[in-house]
Amino acid sequence: MEFLGHGACGVNTKASWLPYFHVFGISDAWAWPLMRVVGTMDIALGVAVLLAPRRALLLYMAIWGCFTALLRPLAGEGGWEFIERAYNYGVPFTLLLLYGFGPRLGGWFVPLKVVPSLSEERARTLLWGMRLIVALMLIGHGGFGAVMAKRNLLGFYGAAGLGVFNIPLETIRSGIGFFEIGLGVAVLVTIGRSLLAFIFAWKLATECLYLVAGAQLACWEVIERGGSYAAPLAALCLLQAVRAWGNSPVSSTRGASRHCAGSVGAECR
């Protein structure tokens, strides 16, 4: 979703991308056609990983996602932009950790047809990784409203009808920003199914404000941000798996090696 949505935005071209090309001294005349090239590559990567994931592609996606996120502060948009996009590079890297790095170089280019069984230790590690991604995403986005006072948020909140409360939208923007920062901190301090389910619903709803506000390429903007609401959902699935091990009659303190294969509800052994 991230790469298909981002790619579609590139193919359709976005004026807001021009400053990122300016970082490298690329003129607008060259930037417009290069957007389509970048977009086409992103779409191809998204389709390839969906149909036949490979370790090399996941690593490239993580590096590319980190690089494009870094372009925002380099273009003068502020460090909160990089923090908020933790899912752009965190999600593909987490998938790479799930599959493992592989014993041989050739293994990086072989299609990964079978999802590996998940040990309790790896599940806990991946869960912490997803929690960190979700926390950074929320804290970064909260910084947009609480610190940066991004103007486009006023349009989203106005389109959502929040002006009906007779509270200045600037105040609402700041309040929501601090609320999201608090949510991000809460994910690091504690963890629970209700919290993660709420964050999933919150992010899905707030990203859909692109549709409500009638933004350019709104549908693709929502799809591109799929990682922002998929990350808390993935963390919820991992939490379920970890708690299933905790409720197992086999105690992990006795050194037993346990794995879950297949779905989250699969029997642990």
Helix (H) or strand (E) holding 85: none
Confidence band, pLDDT 50/70/90 cuts, at residue 102: confident
**Which tens digit of pLDDT belongs to each residue from 165-200?**
999 999 999 999 999 999 999 999 998 999 999 999
The domain segmentation of the chain, as residue ranges, is 1-116, 117-269
pTM equals 0.89
Gap between the Cα atoms of 28 and 17, Å rounded = 10
Task: Look at residue 248 in the predicted model and tell me its pLDDT.
Answer: 61
Q: What is the mean pLDDT of the chain?
A: 90
Asked if residues 146 and 174 have their Cβ atoms less than 8 Å apart, the reply is yes
**Which tens digit of pLDDT belongs to each residue from 151-165?**
999 999 999 999 899
Residue 102 makes CB contacts below 8 A (sequence gap 6+) with 55, 108
